[in-house]
With several copies, the nearest count.
Chain A
Amino acid sequence: MTITETLSSGITIVELCGTIDASTAPELQRHQAISDPTQTIVIDLARLDFLDSSGLGAIIGAARRKEESGANMLLSCMNQKVRRVFDITGTVRLFHIFDETAAAIDYATTLRKSQ
């Protein structure tokens, strides 16, 4: 897995690339922008090839901690394989999921203004 961070309209976009399973989830959890509970971020999953429940758990835990401190984690560009994990587990309804990263950024900007 590789994690790439970019900034767009003041919103941090974290791009996940490769695989997130039990062998790589700890690395995800250690990532600063992901683990910081006060920072709203967009996670761009376009180049994520494979996610399993250990990866899902890491994402959910980080999202919960953000929610609890009034921040958000928005998800964009899931492929079918990744989407299937959210669908089967029912966790799809815990997230705002966007087809395009640009739309997620717009939404994050709106959230910030309304706060």
Chain B
Amino acid sequence: MNSVITLTLPGDIRFSRLASQTASNTASLFTDTCNAGAGNWEFSHAFELAVSEAFTNAVNYGDRMQGTRNITITFTIEQRKLTVAIRDANAPFSAETPEPDIETYPEHGYGLMLIRTLMDTVTICRENGENVITMTKQL
């Protein structure tokens, strides 16, 4: 049976680390349960980093005029697969962002690039007036 864990945080950047720590802890719990030996740090760190990026985007591209809206992070533990979905009430956005040109020392634009590299699947969709970025990784 799948287990679902939900963390709801204020849309405030102060909570970014709580989001990424919880992602890391959930992933570690998942790999422990699966008895996956060494190399676990890579799996946990993938979730730690991907959730840090997605949460930061959810906060940064939110409409500050609207006050702080909540951001919801949902983890779903299946047999050999961990899924995380991050929901925000921001304006819709396109995932077709160009990769940064490294030679110009760009300071931004690495978030989705990291997420796509770290995760097995990444989907961005619109659900009930919210952006939902769903990421999965198989053990």
Contacts and interface: CB of A to CB of B under 8 A. Distances in A.
Decide if A and B touch, CB cutoff 8 A. yes
B114 A58 contact: no
Interface stretch (A9-17, A40-48, A85-93, A96-104): A85-93
The dominant DSSP class at the B interface is helix
B102 A57 contact: no
Nearest to A80: B41
Interface in B54-90: 56, 59-60
Contacts of B17: 19, 21, 23, 50
B68 to A, nearest CB: 14
A91 B48 contact: no
Contacts of A58: 107
A23 B14 contact: yes
B102 A93 contact: yes
Contacts of A63: 105
A61 B39 CA distance: 32
Contacts of B93: none
B9 to A, nearest CB: 12
A89 B45 contact: no
Interface string B32-49: 000000000110010011
Interface residues of A, number: 26
Nearest to A26: B13
Interface of A: 19, 21-23, 50, 52-54, 56-58, 60-61, 63-64, 67, 80-81, 84-85, 88-91, 93-94
26 contacts: A19-B17, A21-B16, A21-B20, A22-B52, A22-B56, A23-B13, A23-B15, A50-B17, A52-B20, A52-B52, A53-B110, A57-B106, A57-B107, A57-B108, A58-B107, A60-B106, A61-B105, A64-B105, A80-B41, A81-B48, A85-B49, A88-B114, A88-B117, A88-B118, A89-B110, A90-B102
Given A21-B16, A67-B105, A84-B45, 13 more contacts: A21-B20, A22-B59, A23-B16, A50-B17, A52-B49, A52-B53, A52-B56, A52-B114, A53-B114, A57-B107, A57-B108, A81-B41, A84-B49
